[in-house]
Amino acid sequence: MKKIKWGMFLAVGLLISASLHAEESYHSNLERDLKRGFKNIVSAPLEIPIGIQKAHESAGYPVVRHVEGVFCGALKTVQRFGSGVWDWIIAWIPGKQEGLPPNPATLF
């Protein structure tokens, strides 16, 4: 009877320590995902000037290049903003969520 009592005590102790470890990783994952989502939402409008700059450095007609840069930057803005919102929504689910971050994952 004494061995069963100690075995139960040990099993409960291991379960508690495992759940405490899981809580720490849940909070760190939550913090990381919320931070990444915030950075993506805030930096989303910066994709338009970045797209214009990249198009400006390429060859071709200037007007066409800048229109292409605005269009590509706007699409990248939507992608980055959507990725940030997705991170905020999915962050609350336990586990390491990779999401679909744009390349690079954040601008800053």
- Per-residue confidence in pLDDT tens, the chain, 108 aa: 666 766 666 666 666 555 555 555 878 888 888 999 999 999 999 999 999 999 988 888 889 999 999 999 999 999 999 999 998 998 888 766 665 666 776 776
Please state, in angstroms and rounded to a whole number, the distance separating the CA atoms of residues 76 and 69: 10
Residue at 15 is within a domain:
yes
Residue at 85 is within a domain:
yes
Please state, in angstroms and rounded to a whole number, the distance separating the CA atoms of residues 107 and 48: 13
Length of the chain in terms of residues written: 108
Both tokens assigned to 68 = 């292409």
| Domains in the chain, number | 1
The residue range of the domain holding 27 is 2-90
The CA-CA-CA angle for residues 40, 78, 30, to 5°, reads 30
Residue at 95 is within a domain:
no
Please state, in angstroms and rounded to a whole number, the distance separating the CA atoms of residues 26 and 88: 14
